[in-house]
Amino acid sequence: MNIPKTVELPEIPFTETVELPARETALIVVDMQRDFVEPTGKLPVPTAPQTVPVIRKLLQQARSAGVRVFYTLDTHLKEDPEFALWGEHVVEGTPGWEIVDDLKPQEGDILIRKTRYDGFYGTPLDEYLRLFGIRHVVVTGTVANICVLHTAGSAALRFYKVVVPVDAISALHPFDLWATLRQITFLYRGVFTRSEGIRFRP
């Protein structure tokens, strides 16, 4: 079977400006942990460090507007079966499991420990979002086609409106990044924008 080495990229809709109601919006920071972000981590994503200042600015904007902030932490115990796929990483309690210093959670932020790709799977994330009356989620972080995609897709399947700023997510390969945006916009009807295009209104 001959598999083509190049494919035509379908058109991916881009939205210049997205206005979101602050009280009905949550900013979700996915897995910005040392093992993924720092070059010396167990499973580093090469472009993740570039997203740190972008996410930090979004966090500042969100907090000043009263937007709820959630962090997911990929969390594993020793001998987790997932290590057969990726090797050992983000073992709970190790330095590599911690959120990077520039994005440290603040008082009032909510941390969600997850054991698999999806931030909703086996976690109280949906319960918290509904408790706070959230209808829109802005999903940032890493890895684009893994935990970001599964979390964004799971949010959409629960009928949250999903927004993904492309400069605030990172992938192991550029193909994976664009495949993620295609899936989120086409399959889940999410919105693809850039971080500077996001506005939180009272």
Catalytic site positions: 31, 114, 147
What are the C-alpha distances in Å from 78 to residues 38, 82, 88, 93, 155?
Answer: 21, 10, 8, 11, 29
Q: H/E/C letters for each residue in 63-87?
A: HHHCCEEEEEEECECCCCCCHHHHC
What number of other Cβ atoms are within 10 A of residue 16's Cβ? Answer: 8
Tokens of 19: 């206005």
DSSP class per residue in 147-181: IIHHHHHHHHHTT-EEEEEGGGEE-SSHHHHHHHH
CA–CA distance, 20 with 17 (Å, rounded to integer): 10
CA–CA distance, 135 with 139 (Å, rounded to integer): 13
